[in-house]
Amino acid sequence: MKTTEPNPGLQLDARGRLCHLLTLDGLPRELLIDILDEAEAHDKVLRGQDKKQGTLSGRTIVNLFFEPSTRTRTTFELAAKRLSADVLNLQVSASSTSKGETLFDTLKTLEAMQADMFVVRHEASGAAHFFAEHAAPGVAILNAGDGRHAHPTQGLLDLFTIRRYKGGGVGGPSNDCFKKLTVAIVGDVLHSRVARSDIHGLRILGTKEIRVVAPPTLVPAGIEAMGVKVFHELESGLDGADVVILLRLQKERMMGAFLPSLAEFHRDFGLTRARLAKLKPEAIVMHPGPINRGVEIEGDVAYGPRSLILNQVSHGIAVRMAVMSMILGAPAPAEARSPRSRR
Amino acid sequence: MKTTEPNPGLQLDARGRLCHLLTLDGLPRELLIDILDEAEAHDKVLRGQDKKQGTLSGRTIVNLFFEPSTRTRTTFELAAKRLSADVLNLQVSASSTSKGETLFDTLKTLEAMQADMFVVRHEASGAAHFFAEHAAPGVAILNAGDGRHAHPTQGLLDLFTIRRYKGGGVGGPSNDCFKKLTVAIVGDVLHSRVARSDIHGLRILGTKEIRVVAPPTLVPAGIEAMGVKVFHELESGLDGADVVILLRLQKERMMGAFLPSLAEFHRDFGLTRARLAKLKPEAIVMHPGPINRGVEIEGDVAYGPRSLILNQVSHGIAVRMAVMSMILGAPAPAEARSPRSRR
Amino acid sequence: MKTTEPNPGLQLDARGRLCHLLTLDGLPRELLIDILDEAEAHDKVLRGQDKKQGTLSGRTIVNLFFEPSTRTRTTFELAAKRLSADVLNLQVSASSTSKGETLFDTLKTLEAMQADMFVVRHEASGAAHFFAEHAAPGVAILNAGDGRHAHPTQGLLDLFTIRRYKGGGVGGPSNDCFKKLTVAIVGDVLHSRVARSDIHGLRILGTKEIRVVAPPTLVPAGIEAMGVKVFHELESGLDGADVVILLRLQKERMMGAFLPSLAEFHRDFGLTRARLAKLKPEAIVMHPGPINRGVEIEGDVAYGPRSLILNQVSHGIAVRMAVMSMILGAPAPAEARSPRSRR
């Protein structure tokens, strides 16, 4: 596959509205905040008994997964169904690719079936950009994770979660909260598209300090250029942090080369109850899931009172509904809208 | 997985209403009858052209199958879709469990996606109880078969079928019909969750005589304590029976240890046309499907005039709709309701 | 499986209306044209933003695929969902058949779940007929490809595409256009159910000349009896053609016996830019997809200005919606109807 460099302009149409979501990198601050506010409205609907909105009725959303991920696919499927779209789940690998069809042919064929949006996950960085560059006008691409590059809806739901729990107060959430926060991202940063999307989003919203905490083998060279501080030791990395984002250790990608052992990683970088006790009392703990119990996090910590891991899952549906409906030009119902956030 | 002993109280809320369905064991007679009556109303809708009801619109039902079963999953999927719920099918094995996620993590993650009900099938007895014990308030568990333990919706549809064909008459179905019936359950009782659920249901409704007919190797020790009579010989076991429930021989579980051969089983316990002719003229034949032709039943018998096997399949959809809508607090439309059954 | 000879009468009810679609062979010309006209109405709806019609709400359509084909299944799934039917996707192979269930048992069980229509794909010629012969009254069978026998919806969408691009003009499409057309079907005719359905459809509509262009090893013996001219050389086969229908080379079926090599096939029968340039200027190029780039067609030709390959995909949805709604007795909305075609 021919991959291409990110082109941030690709994501916005001539009037500055979102038409694809490929990466948070380069998105305007106001647009990020609009998405978070829209997600607040959807989250409100989801807390009721009837979680269905008719807004995308008659539209078709295709989950096009070249990398298997039941969990991620499920969140997009639910988001689309709750907006009343018709949803197609295509796990591509055996079927058409084995018949010699190229990525381009797959895109064009599904477009011809009048799909409105493709949710794309692919192991190659740049796959979503490739689709966006070749998509017909009016067909939207939503990146659900491409290689090590980006996972923008995960980045958005992390921002949403931080804003909700650190930016509360009278008059709606405050986006200025980020200017006072120290956020530590801990673990396998090297292989993590989540870390990259988090860092981009946090910077756009003006986060005071972003830290990356990992053994040297798991930090990409030159990451300081993204505006982060690197720590190779957990205790100092967590000192004074308001938000701790743990990353999933991709055990299947470790292959002995990056880590001496999982036990050693846990000893040096795992979040245990003992370490949790040393955090600031109001610090929050996040993780994109699924967790590796006893590796990057202890089970008790994952389900403890300071963990927002399950909240993140809920917010993920709301954020995906927001992105889908904004791109397809169908906002949440007026009665669900909160006052806009303080900007 | 830590499994736990059945706790019948778990299934009913403080006001005695069904909140999970895990086993028929311990359910009140009145509640069983309410489910059967509710299923009658759904069955009436299903016999029309438009089989859709809007009652569960906006609710999310997750089919969580740890054991593959297209057929059973299909019946729950159809039931949920015909009630207008959003349905997610998750075949769990490779995906999340291979990533080290525990059963508990899977439950909590899907709960966080605002699922209202989980239809759970698992090879371990007690899995559905485990889920029900750990489910958040307002999240319902419906057992679609756990190990050898229970398959309550199959038990209910068998009761429904018997009541319809043996309890008819003026003024709606009579629940007293069971007091006059002799029911013979034939085949691999040892491995059968269907047999256990049937026996519990039949006892609650006061069935006159429940028989278990199988070779000694396929009868669990001490089953007499469940209130059944054991027969090791088919002819005497069927003598005077009003209802014959054949069980599917789980060929893949036999492994040479329990049976000399399939041919021998068929010779001694298979329902043939010759044996059918010796039954009482009004006796009915049932089987949970899929049938093993030439093993526990001859094809001609399965599709003969006294077989209710396909009726059972239809009733299964109605029964599952009844359970789903009762648990989620949304009854069938008034216009579909028949007068209540005679109690 | 016991297969049976096609029985064209099976497809029409006593009043001559379509009740199954198994093959185009033997269908009345007027009925074919009615389907194409109905598809025009659906195509019009599909070009709008809201592609959903409520016409089959409450009906159940089962995609029963014994042969994996994500692409074909997707087109039927989308067609059914856009008509608001409940859709079940069943990929049968491992699950029930491995449990010893026969084709007949599968049909009867799914019928008992009150399915209204089965879309059947099977590797055995005659499978769809088998289902239609055994289906209960009111249950419809739609053949989505059976062995080498037939793929009638593909045939219909090819006719639809030809009529639209060759039969245009004032007053709606003209069905008489076929009387002036020379159509060349190129490639692996031997294994192609598409070729058979195309030939039947083209003959019924009175096509002037139908050609089959392939190496001798890939032409079925006696195909001249179907009313086609056979060419073993590409240049003469394409000379004067108005429509070129390329077939997919089933590489997995070649196994060395039929072809010296793919490269040789491409050299002798592949549609290249050079060969395209020699066609009549208004000739159109079609292919059922997915294409084998560099085998039967060059990528540039497939996406070139004379190619209608992606249009065929779009038309395929409209044609399938037409067949589904006509069989289930629910026509497209009046406002979408064009004037009838000129007959």
For chain A, which residues make up each domain, given as ranges?
A: 8-150+315-334, 152-312
Closest CB to B292 among C100, C112, C114 = C100
Contact check, Cβ <8 Å, B317/C113: yes
**What are the tokens at B248?**
């599917």
Residue B271 half-sphere exposure toward CB, CA atoms < 13 A: 35
Closest CB to B74 among C57, C101, C113 = C113
Contact check, Cβ <8 Å, A60/C69: no
CATH fold of B152-312 reads Rossmann fold (3.40.50)
Give the angle A229-A231-A237 at the CA atoms, nearest 5°: 95
Question: What was the pLDDT predicted at A87?
Answer: 97
Question: What was the pLDDT predicted at C114?
Answer: 96
Contact check, Cβ <8 Å, B59/A51: yes
Closest by Cα among A284, A319, A5, A238 to A132:
A5
pLDDT bracket for residue C169 (50, 70, 90): low
- In eight-state DSSP terms, residue A8 is G
Number of Cβ atoms within 10 Å of the Cβ of B190: 21
Superfamily of domain C153-312: Aspartate/ornithine carbamoyltransferase (3.40.50.1370)
Q: If you count DSSP H runs as helices and E runs as strands, how many of each does chain B have, helices first?
A: 13, 9
pLDDT, tens only, B271-294: 999 999 999 999 999 999 999 999
Closest by Cα among A70, A73, A130 to A105:
A130
Phi, psi of A317, deg, nearest 5: -65, -45
Contacts of B60 in chain A (CB under 8 A): 51, 78, 82
Q: Please state, rounded to an integer, the average pLDDT across all residues of chain A.
A: 91
- pTM value? 0.93
Question: What was the pLDDT predicted at A6?
Answer: 45
**What are the tokens at A30?**
């106001």
Q: How far apart are CA B122 and CA B107, in angstroms?
A: 13
Question: What was the pLDDT predicted at B6?
Answer: 46
**Sequence letter at residue A35:** I
Check whether A56 has a pLDDT greater than 90: yes
The CA distance from A330 to the nearest CA of chain C, in Å, is 12
Number of Cβ atoms within 10 Å of the Cβ of B339: 10
Beta-bridged to residue A150, according to DSSP, are A146
Rounded to an integer, the average pLDDT of B257-265 is: 85
Contact check, Cβ <8 Å, B95/A69: yes
Rounded to an integer, the average pLDDT of B129-138 is: 95
Closest by Cα among A161, A157, A131, A135 to A146:
A131
Contacts of C290 in chain A (CB under 8 A): 96, 99-101, 105, 109
Q: How far is CA C114 from the centre of its chain?
A: 27
Sign of CA dihedral C275, C281, C287, C293: positive
Cβ pairs B/C, distance under 8 A: 69
Number of Cβ atoms within 10 Å of the Cβ of A210: 22
More confident residue, C9 or A52: A52
pLDDT bracket for residue B72 (50, 70, 90): very high
Closest CB to C109 among B50, B77, B289 = B289
- In eight-state DSSP terms, residue A213 is E
pLDDT bracket for residue A9 (50, 70, 90): confident
Interface test with B, best of A42, A44, A52 (most B CBs within 10 A): A52
Closest CB to C51 among A60, A96, A101 = A60
Beta-bridged to residue C183, according to DSSP, are C210, C243
Percentage with pLDDT > 90 across chain A: 81
More confident residue, B336 or B180: B180
Q: How far apart are CA B128 and CA B145, in angstroms?
A: 8
The kind and range of the H/E element at B141 are strand B140-146
Question: What was the pLDDT predicted at B144?
Answer: 98
Q: Kind of pairing, strands C60-65 and B86-91?
A: unpaired
The CA distance from A58 to the nearest CA of chain C, in Å, is 4
pLDDT bracket for residue B59 (50, 70, 90): very high
**Sequence letter at residue C190:** L
Closest CB to C57 among B52, B75, B303 = B52
Rounded to an integer, the average pLDDT of B301-326 is: 97
Rounded to an integer, the average pLDDT of C114-133 is: 95
Contact check, Cβ <8 Å, C86/B78: yes
Question: What was the pLDDT predicted at C3?
Answer: 39
Question: What was the pLDDT predicted at C103?
Answer: 84
Q: Do the domains spanning C8-151+316-332 and C153-312 agree at the CATH topology level?
A: yes
pLDDT, tens only, A272-318: 999 999 999 999 999 999 999 999 999 999 999 999 999 999 999 99
Question: What was the pLDDT predicted at A5?
Answer: 44
The kind and range of the H/E element at B33 are helix B29-46
Instruction: Give the highest mean pLDDT range of A207-211, B89-93, C246-250.
Output: A207-211
Sequence-separated (6 or more) residues with CB below 8 Å from residue A258: A188, A190, A217, A218
Contact check, Cβ <8 Å, C290/A57: no
* Contact present, A270 and A305 (Cβ < 8 Å): no
The CA distance from B56 to the nearest CA of chain C, in Å, is 14
Contact check, Cβ <8 Å, B109/A71: yes
Question: What was the pLDDT predicted at C168?
Answer: 78
Question: What was the pLDDT predicted at C334?
Answer: 75
The CA distance from C22 to the nearest CA of chain A, in Å, is 23
Contact check, Cβ <8 Å, B293/C100: yes
Q: How far apart are CA B222 and CA B93, in angstroms?
A: 34
Percentage with pLDDT > 70 across chain B: 93
User: Which of A165-174, B260-269, C300-309, C313-322 is predicted least confidently?
Assistant: A165-174
Closest CB to B88 among A49, A78, A303 = A78
Q: How far apart are CA A109 and CA C32, in angstroms?
A: 26
The CA distance from C6 to the nearest CA of chain A, in Å, is 30
| Rg of chain A in Å (alpha carbons) | 20
- Whether the complex's predicted ipTM is more than 0.85 is answered with yes
Number of Cβ atoms within 10 Å of the Cβ of A49: 12
Nearest residue on chain C to B250, alpha-carbon basis: C99
Q: Please state, rounded to an integer, the average pLDDT across all residues of chain B.
A: 91
Closest by Cα among C33, C32, C80 to C58:
C80
Contacts of B317 in chain C (CB under 8 A): 113-114
Q: Which DSSP string corresponds to B150-218? A: B-HHHHHHHHHHHHHHHS-STTS-BGGGGGG-EEEEES--TT-HHHHHHHHHHHHTT-SEEEEE--GGG
Q: Kind of pairing, strands A229-231 and C86-91?
A: unpaired
Closest by Cα among B213, B70, B214 to C91:
B70
Closest CB to A86 among C70, C81, C314 = C81
Contact check, Cβ <8 Å, C290/A101: yes
* Contact present, B268 and B317 (Cβ < 8 Å): no
**What are the tokens at B74?**
């299909």
**Sequence letter at residue A164:** R
CATH number of this structure's domain C8-151+316-332:
3.40.50.1370
Give the angle A186-A190-A196 at the CA atoms, nearest 5°: 75
Contacts of B96 in chain A (CB under 8 A): 70-71, 290
Interface test with C, best of B44, B74, B77, B247 (most C CBs within 10 A): B74
Nearest residue on chain B to A47, alpha-carbon basis: B114
Q: Where are the beta strands (DSSP E) in chain A?
A: 60-65, 86-91, 117-122, 140-146, 182-186, 209-213, 229-231, 243-246, 284-286
- In eight-state DSSP terms, residue B253 is H
pLDDT, tens only, C254-297: 656 788 888 899 999 999 999 999 999 999 999 999 999 999 99
Number of Cβ atoms within 10 Å of the Cβ of C227: 13
**Three-class DSSP category at A63:** strand
Contacts of C94 in chain B (CB under 8 A): 68
Number of Cβ atoms within 10 Å of the Cβ of B298: 20
Nearest residue on chain C to B45, alpha-carbon basis: C58
The kind and range of the H/E element at C183 are strand C182-186
Closest CB to C114 among B69, B291, B314 = B314
Contact check, Cβ <8 Å, B112/A75: no
Contacts of B101 in chain A (CB under 8 A): 290-291
- In eight-state DSSP terms, residue B284 is E
* Contact present, A302 and A293 (Cβ < 8 Å): yes
CA distances from B96 to A82, B90, B99, B102 (A): 23, 10, 5, 8
pLDDT, tens only, C2-36: 434 445 579 999 999 999 999 999 999 999 999 99
Check whether C203 has a pLDDT greater than 90: yes
Closest by Cα among A26, C172, B256 to A12:
A26
Helix pair B29-46, B309-327: axis angle to 10 deg: 110
**What are the tokens at C92?**
């049968």
Residues in chain A whose Cβ is within 8 Å of chain B: 46, 49-52, 68-71, 74-75, 77-78, 81-82, 251, 289-293, 303, 310-311, 313-314, 317
Phi, psi of A18, deg, nearest 5: -65, 125
- In eight-state DSSP terms, residue A241 is -
Contacts of A59 in chain C (CB under 8 A): 49-51
Contact check, Cβ <8 Å, C99/B290: yes
- In eight-state DSSP terms, residue C140 is E
User: Which of B115-119, B323-327, C329-333 is predicted least confidently?
Assistant: C329-333
**What are the tokens at B158?**
């068998």
CA distances from C59 to B72, B262, C120, C252 (A): 20, 41, 17, 37
pLDDT, tens only, A119-141: 999 999 999 999 999 999 999 99
CATH number of this structure's domain A8-150+315-334:
3.40.50.1370
Check whether A90 has a pLDDT greater than 50: yes
- In eight-state DSSP terms, residue A233 is S
Tokens 């982060």 belong to A228
Q: Please state, rounded to an integer, the average pLDDT across all residues of chain C.
A: 91
* Contact present, A188 and A144 (Cβ < 8 Å): no
pLDDT bracket for residue B92 (50, 70, 90): confident
Which CATH architecture fits B8-150+316-334? Answer: 3-Layer(aba) Sandwich (3.40)
Question: What was the pLDDT predicted at A260?
Answer: 81
* Contact present, C151 and C197 (Cβ < 8 Å): yes
Percentage with pLDDT > 90 across chain B: 81
Is residue C226 packed enough to be buried (19+ CB in 10 Å), middle (13-18) or exposed (0-12)?
middle
Q: How far apart are CA B142 and CA B129, in angstroms?
A: 10
Contact check, Cβ <8 Å, B88/A77: yes
Contacts of A71 in chain B (CB under 8 A): 95-96, 109
The CA distance from C159 to the nearest CA of chain A, in Å, is 18
| Rg of chain B in Å (alpha carbons) | 20
Closest by Cα among B27, B136, B63, B2 to B320:
B63
- In eight-state DSSP terms, residue A209 is E
Cβ pairs A/B, distance under 8 A: 68
Tokens 């299944």 belong to C73
Phi, psi of C144, deg, nearest 5: -105, 25
Peptide bond preceding C290 in cis form (omega within 30 of 0): yes
The kind and range of the H/E element at C213 are strand C209-213
Contacts of A105 in chain C (CB under 8 A): 289-291, 293
The CA distance from B68 to the nearest CA of chain A, in Å, is 16
Check whether A52 has a pLDDT greater than 80: yes
Peptide bond preceding B290 in cis form (omega within 30 of 0): yes
Question: What was the pLDDT predicted at A235?
Answer: 96
**Three-class DSSP category at B119:** strand
Tokens 């240890």 belong to B257
Chains with 3+ CB–CB pairs under 8 A to C are A, B
pLDDT, tens only, B10-58: 999 999 999 999 999 999 999 999 999 999 999 999 999 999 999 999 9
